């Protein structure tokens, strides 16, 4: 046992004792062959990439086509976040609430100790310090992940500010989040490794009181890159509720109108509803500019001036590849031209990558995400529907100059959206903050491939945080109401809106073209913020009036434009009843303000 511990003597001399002691405890439990402290340097990254190619975890893509880029193929059983194996183990079950899996923390600790005992045998344990948010920003938070997956180290190196600078921020009095990760596949002496080690048993566990994360059995995305969903959303939502700020599953953009005035907008959509496409929107509207700040997570805190200021705590994009193409998101396609890790996309015969939606025509032959021959006649898609790209934020040429401003950006508008074939209008503005919180609380969307479950099924996804809230969902709503009270309307507190790009006609056609045409809706939103255009009240909120959106220029017919706002009282009524059940299922903590907004919604019907 002590043999493993000698390795921690290689801890950087400035590593805080609290980190060193924790690393030793985890090493004692998991018994790695060696321990490596990551410094985040280019050389370290290149060495790990080269080693991963040698080990078969990564395939080097053709450097003439895709310089410095790699393909990973996961185990076919390890392809998405596993919400059914994700736990919030608060002392009291009520603090996790009805939307989270819960187990008594002592019981869970015993289970995980059993699984993790010797789990890293034969492997290297990497110590990965990281900062969420610009290093040293007052809004940033620190964490340290240990992991036995080089793929996870490489990914965390892209998705966070990882390495020596982050470690140097941790002193004796610094709070930092410890995150333990093992793929759960120890190697016996002489045993050959596999390309994607993982375990059929999976746990992604959060302890709110001690702010710890423990993950076992998966190397995929949010299950394993713990800085992202586990820290920046689940643990951060707990910290935010205590400290008075918001951890939101939201993209961030800077929008500049033809008069040169800029706005910052945060937008929350459930997973795989096009957040990255929206974050990199190329406006069809002449003279407008949209620049990217983040595509997945926003941390937002009320400032002393009564405005809400936001940072993107991440440093890269872990986006869904299928559906990212020249016609839907040319900025992303250009961003992925080099320095990218792809996971579960298809390989072309000349060593490049392809996925459904990248181009109109698929190549005549590919190797699919599982390494099998593929032709356009094949029955299954060439790329897994949840295939991903991992790329640094500064690869995006639409990145805003303020994207890593340590002070954050002031938010002018907050948008909620989902994938809704029916009922929900193209856009509606909340009458006030409380109404906006109601919009967020009752948000629903059709299920996508980013998580397990039946595709297309409608599910409530309040604040797009259903899989990501570390607290009782109703407490989360109350917290939003509380934060709203600290904001100052006259100083420019954000207005709240709801959008739906996905409404379909009776024939199943999308009624709105989406993508670059969404700039028309975004422009309307900023004009509402400025008070330049009128709106009219409707069941869902304030909707555009007098053709203040030029829908004809977007190629939409007058009938379709009307259908985008149509209210089928029977269908909306049925949905309101479903919302009754949903609010009921949240239990007695549902804020009175949300109940009041719901009955107001019903009475307007």
Which residues are known to be catalytic?
273
> Residue 81's binding partner, choosing from ligand OXD, Mn ion, none, with beta-carbon cut-off 5 to 8 A by kind?
ligand OXD
Interface stretch with Mn ion, choices 129-137, 267-275, 387-395, 434-442 (CB under 5 A): 267-275
- Residue 243, φ and ψ in degrees, nearest 5: -100, -5
Q: What CA–CA distances, in Å, run from 175 to 19, 141, 142, 207, 214?
A: 11, 8, 7, 15, 17
Which of Mn ion, ligand OXD, none lies near 215, with the C-beta cut-off 5 to 8 A by kind? none
Residues 522-541 touching Mn ion, rule: CB under 5 A, are: none
Q: Are 119 and 113 in contact (CB under 8 A)?
A: no
CA distances from residue 170 to 130, 144, 209, 435 in whole angstroms, order as listed: 10, 10, 20, 41
Nearer to ligand OXD, 268 or 408 (CB): 268
Q: Which residue is nearest to ligand OXD (CB)?
A: 271
> Any contact of residue 271 with Mn ion (CB under 5 A)?
yes
**Which residue's CB is nearer to Mn ion, number 162 or number 465?**
465
Question: Which of Mn ion, ligand OXD, none sits in contact with 524, Cβ below 5 to 8 A by type?
Answer: none
Rg of the chain over Cα atoms, rounded to whole angstroms, equals 24
Instruction: Please report, for residues 22, 306, 450, the alpha-carbon distance to residue 82 in angstroms, rounded to integers and kept in the order given.
Output: 27, 38, 9
Can residue 461 be called a binding residue for Mn ion (CB under 5 A)? no
The Cα 463–Cα 439 span in angstroms is 8
274 binds, among ligand OXD, Mn ion, none (CB under 5 to 8 A by kind): none
Return the biggest CA–CA distance within the chain.
76
Q: Which is nearer to Mn ion, 125 or 266 (CB)?
A: 266
Nearest distance, CB of residue 230 and Mn ion, angstroms: 12
Which positions touch ligand OXD (CB under 6 A)?
A: 81, 221-222, 271, 296, 318, 450
Which distant-in-sequence residues (6+ apart) come within 8 Å of 359 by Cβ?
325, 326
Contact status: 296 vs Mn ion (CB under 5 A): yes
- Closer CB to Mn ion, 249 or 309, in the complex: 249
Q: Cβ of residue 249: shortest distance to Mn ion, in angstroms?
A: 6
Find, among 112, 134, 129, the residue nearest to 164 by Cα: 129
Select the binding partner of residue 598 from ligand OXD, Mn ion, none (C-beta < 5 to 8 A, by kind): none
Give the ranges where 176-261 is alpha helix by DSSP (H).
Answer: 221-224, 236-243
CB of 516 to Mn ion, least distance (A): 22
Least CB distance from residue 271 to ligand OXD, whole Å?
3
Round to whole Å and give the CA distance between 179 and 231. 8
450 binds, among ligand OXD, Mn ion, none (CB under 5 to 8 A by kind): ligand OXD
State which residue, 318 or 601, has the beta carbon closest to Mn ion: 318
List helix spans (H) across 40-104.
Answer: 42-55, 93-96
- Sequence-ordered list of residues with C-beta below 8 angstroms from that of 169, at least 6 positions apart, any chain: 131, 135, 136, 142
DSSP string, 295-347: SS-EEEEE-TTS-EEEE---SEEEEE-TT--TTT-HHHHHHTTSS-EEES-EE
Q: Which does 472 bind (CB under 5 to 8 A by kind): ligand OXD, Mn ion, none?
A: none
| Residues near Mn ion (CB under 5 A), total | 2
Residue with tokens 């002392």: 91
CB of 232 to Mn ion, least distance (A): 10
Cβ closest to ligand OXD, residue 463 vs residue 561: 463
Q: Give least dist CB 197 to ligand OXD, A.
A: 21
Q: How far is the CB of 31 from ligand OXD (least distance, A)?
A: 31
* Of residues 271 and 500, the one with the C-beta less far from Mn ion: 271
Select the binding partner of residue 318 from Mn ion, ligand OXD, none (C-beta < 5 to 8 A, by kind). Answer: ligand OXD
Contact between residue 514 and residue 501 where contact means Cβ atoms under 8 Å apart: yes
Q: Report in angstroms how near the CB of residue 389 gets to ligand OXD at its nearest.
A: 11
- For residue 213, the surrounding DSSP H or E stretch is strand 212-216
Which of 121, 229 has the CB closer to Mn ion? 229
- Give the nearest residue (CB) to Mn ion: 296
Q: Scan for tokens 């400290």, then name that residue.
A: 243
To the nearest 10 degrees (0 to 180), the angle between helices 592-604 and 569-585 is 160
SS (H, E, C) 460-482: ECHHHCCCCCCCCHHHHHHHHHH
For CA atoms 440, 302, 318, 146, give the dihedral sign: negative
For residue 466, the minimal CB distance to ligand OXD (Å) is: 10
Nearer to ligand OXD, 250 or 301 (CB): 250
Q: How many CA atoms lie within 13 A of 166 on its CB side?
A: 30
Which tokens in the block code for residue 3? Answer: 């043999």
Footprint on this chain of Mn ion (rule: CB under 5 A): 271, 296
């Amino acid at each position: 046992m002590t043999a493993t511990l000698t390795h921690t003597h290689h801890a950087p001399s400035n590593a805080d004792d609290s980190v060193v002691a924790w690393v030793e405890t985890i090493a004692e439990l998991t018994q790695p062959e060696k321990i490596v402290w990551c410094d985040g340097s280019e050389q370290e990254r290149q060495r790990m990439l080269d080693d991963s190619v040698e080990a078969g975890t990564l395939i080097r893509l053709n450097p003439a086509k895709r310089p410095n880029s790699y393909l990973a193929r996961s185990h076919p059983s390890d392809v998405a976040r596993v919400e059914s194996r994700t736990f919030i183990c608060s002392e009291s079950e009520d603090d996790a609430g009805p939307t989270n899996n819960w187990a008594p923390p002592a019981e869970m600790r015993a289970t995980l100790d059993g699984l993790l005992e010797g789990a890293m045998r034969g492997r290297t344990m990497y110590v990965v310090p990281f900062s969420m948010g610009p290093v040293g920003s007052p809004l940033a938070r620190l964490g340290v992940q240990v992991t036995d997956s080089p793929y996870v180290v490489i990914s965390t190196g892209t998705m966070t500010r990882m390495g020596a600078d982050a470690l140097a921020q941790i002193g004796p009095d610094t709070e930092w989040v410890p995150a333990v990760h093992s793929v759960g596949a120890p190697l016996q002496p002489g045993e050959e490794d596999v390309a994607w080690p993982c375990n059929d048993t999976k746990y992604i566990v959060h302890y709110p009181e001690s702010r710890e994360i423990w993950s076992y059995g998966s190397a995929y995305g949010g299950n394993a890159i713990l800085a992202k969903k586990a820290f920046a959303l689940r643990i951060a939502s707990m910290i935010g509720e205590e400290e008075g700020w918001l951890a939101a599953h939201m993209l961030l953009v800077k929008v500049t109108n033809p008069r040169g005035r800029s706005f910052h907008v945060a937008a929350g959509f459930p997973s795989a509803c096009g957040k990255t496409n929206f974050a990199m929107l190329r406006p069809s509207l002449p003279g407008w500019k949209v620049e990217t700040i983040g595509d997945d997570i926003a941390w937002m805190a009320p400032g002393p001036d009564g405005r809400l200021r936001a940072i993107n705590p991440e440093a890269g994009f872990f986006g869904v590849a299928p559906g990212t193409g020249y016609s839907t998101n040319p900025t992303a396609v250009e961003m992925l031209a080099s320095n990218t890790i792809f996971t579960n996309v298809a390989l072309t015969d000349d060593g490049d990558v392809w996925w459904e939606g990248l181009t109109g025509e698929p190549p005549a032959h590919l190797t699919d995400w599982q390494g099998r021959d593929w032709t356009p006649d094949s029955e299954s898609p060439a790329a897994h529907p949840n295939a991903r790209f991992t790329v640094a934020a500064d690869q995006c040429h639409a990145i805003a100059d303020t994207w890593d401003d340590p002070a954050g950006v002031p938010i002018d508008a907050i948008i909620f959206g989902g994938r809704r074939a029916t009922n929900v209008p193209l856009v509606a503005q909340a009458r006030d903050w409380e109404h906006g919180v109601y919009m967020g609380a009752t948000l629903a969307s059709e299920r996508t491939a980013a998580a397990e479950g039946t595709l297309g099924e409608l599910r409530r996804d309040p604040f797009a945080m259903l899989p990501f809230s570390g607290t009782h969902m109703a407490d989360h709503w109350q917290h939003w109401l509380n934060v709203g009270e600290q904001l100052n309307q006259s100083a420019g507190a954000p207005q709240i809106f709801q959008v739906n790009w996905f409404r379909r006609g009776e024939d199943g056609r999308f009624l709105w073209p989406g993508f670059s045409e969404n700039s028309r809706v975004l422009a309307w939103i900023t004009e509402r913020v400025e008070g330049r255009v009128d709106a009219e009240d409707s069941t869902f909120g304030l909707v555009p009036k007098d053709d203040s959106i030029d829908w004809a220029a977007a190629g939409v017919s007058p009938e379709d434009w009307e259908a985008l706002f149509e209210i089928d009282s029977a269908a909306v009524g049925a949905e309101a009843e479903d919302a009754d059940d949903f609010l009921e299922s949240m239990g007695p903590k549902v804020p009175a303000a949300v109940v009041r907004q719901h009955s107001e919604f019903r009475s307007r019907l």
